[in-house]
Amino acid sequence: MFTLLFLPLAKVTTWDDEAWYARFVVSALATTAWVGLLVFVPGAIIACAVVWVVLLLCSLHVPSLRNLLPFWRWLLALRHRIKGDSPEFIVERVLGLRPIEDATTDFKGVRDYVAAYSGYDETGEAQLEFACGLSGVTDEFVEKKAKDGLGAMGAEVFKVDHLGPGHWLLHFWKEEPKNPLDDAIEITASDLDDWDGKTVTYGLTEAGEPARLSYAQTSGIVVGGVPGAGKSAGAMLLTLPLLASPKASVAIFDGKGGMDWSWAERSASLFNNDCDLDLPAATDQLETLAQRCVDDLKSHPWSDSDPDFWHAGASALHPFHLVVIDECQTLFDITGRSKEEKALVERCKRAVATIVRKGRSAGWCVMLLTQKPTADSIPTNIRDNCVVRFALRVTTREAAEAVLGSIPDGDPRPTEIPAPRRGGAVVQGEDGHTQSVRFAYLPVTEAAKALESSTLDTVVAGLEA
């Protein structure tokens, strides 16, 4: 009898604390004793019935006395074993609303929620969508309860998506799920689509979806990360579709002065890889570009009546202008500079700041790249006006904040990117939130191949379109 009483406990005991299990043991012993009394003592049924009624009445004031009634805990356990995969049961077990407790719940027994649950699938994931109007149920509460509920769910890993006020989606995995960003993504020139005038696809998100960047209404982009993190390869995918399109004009300033951007030299409208040696020339070029941006903003040549470039869209007659500055600390950092050079640096900063502040509706954008993410490399007044920021792997919180600024609690951080994940990044959009992505890898030879067709014929075709 005692053993049979424990059969309904399968998939139930692990969902409750030890005190509940102790109460079940007391209930099972009491049940066995009552059955023995009824079997071996003739006529005991009347006395037993009287005692049961007394216990039931007393339990109105002392609920734990119900454990002495026969089959009390067994029936409760059986009921909840039957509905073990119901959304209500999962919510009550994971979030601490315990319908099989003697005492009332933390919420006075009120269950003001709507839930939907899908059990573990072939990938080992279970999902619980939960919407609740109780004031005590906050994001922090749900995060804590989900973590505490790992054992209850038989899971090793969890994640909580905040879908809205009072609305969450909880994910549970029996084993650590494979991150799609851990696998390298290598593409060829034939995988690239023609630029549509707004968006480029550059890799993959952590959800396994294509990662895209829209240049529309974007006047500033920051890309930073330690050497070897994949910054140059990522910048290639962000700029290559534009370099191959007649709808865009790309000016490139390579502060490193090496061969990293040689593949783009023939297709760029301006190419300067001597910034570190000829600061005055780079300053003049940036100021000229800034003045052109201001002129476009004032005259809006793309339309007689509409001052917003993006309402008309990029075209071969009125292309989108992208200014790329790689190793931007070459033009911004005043450390060790002479007085004359410091003055030139200030002019560079003003020119870039002008494009970032004014270029949004004029079809101009600046992309700043650095492998030395500091406030000296990326002035905060410029960074704060750049609405899109990519932080590849960095090793310090200061470096992460130099690129991204403040990072909301719970969002992915670039300091957490594994070293083997080359091209992995954390991207921050206009809403301030970040998400993990990984840039695809395109060999330089493939990039050059993609630009082979970017000739005068392509431009003419664009003008005729």
Tens-place pLDDT, residues 1-53: 877 787 776 655 555 555 677 888 888 999 999 999 998 988 889 999 999 99
Distance in angstroms (rounded) separating the CA atoms of residues 429 and 169: 22
Q: What pLDDT, on a 0 to 100 scale, did the predictor assign at position 459?
A: 43
What percent of the chain is modeled with pLDDT above 70?
Answer: 89
Structure tokens at 167: 């609305």
C-alpha span between 62 and 83 (Å, rounded): 28
Could you give the CA distance from residue 224 to residue 370 in angstroms, rounded to a whole number?
Answer: 5
Do the strands 320-326 and 364-370 form a parallel or antiparallel pair, or are they unpaired? parallel
Residue pLDDT, tens place only, 347-365: 999 999 999 999 999 999 9
70-123: pLDDT as tens digits: 998 888 777 666 666 677 677 776 776 544 333 334 434 445 677 888 888 888
The dihedral sign for the CA sequence 444, 450, 453, 459: negative
Which fold does the domain 83-177 belong to in CATH? Gyrase A; domain 2 (3.30.1360)
- pLDDT in the model for residue 461: 45
| 223, burial (CB in 10 Å: exposed 0-12, middle 13-18, buried 19+) | buried
CATH class, domain 182-464, is: alpha beta
Beta bridge partners of 326: 254
Q: Are 411 and 387 in contact (CB under 8 A)?
A: no
Whole-number Å distance between alpha carbons of 318 and 63: 79
Q: How many helices (DSSP H) and strands (DSSP E) are in the chain? A: 15, 14
Per-residue pLDDT reduced to its tens digit, 389-417? 999 999 998 899 889 888 887 788 999 99
* CA neighbor of 138 nearest in space, from 104, 108, 97, 167: 167
Determine contact, residues 326/366, Cβ cutoff 8 Å: no
Domain residue spans of the chain: 1-77, 83-177, 182-464
> Are the C-beta atoms of residues 370 and 352 closer than 8 Å to each other?
no
Other C-beta atoms closer than 10 Å to the C-beta of 19 total 10
Equal CATH topology for 83-177 and 182-464: no
Residue 50 is predicted with a pLDDT of 93
- Name the β-bridge partners of 114: 131
pLDDT score recorded for residue 211? 93
The secondary element (H helix, E strand) that includes residue 339 is helix 339-358
Query: What length does the chain have?
Result: 465
Helix 339-358, helix 279-299: angle, nearest 10: 30
Give the pLDDT confidence score for residue 375 in this predicted structure: 79
Would you say 173 and 191 are in contact if contact means Cβ atoms under 8 Å apart? no
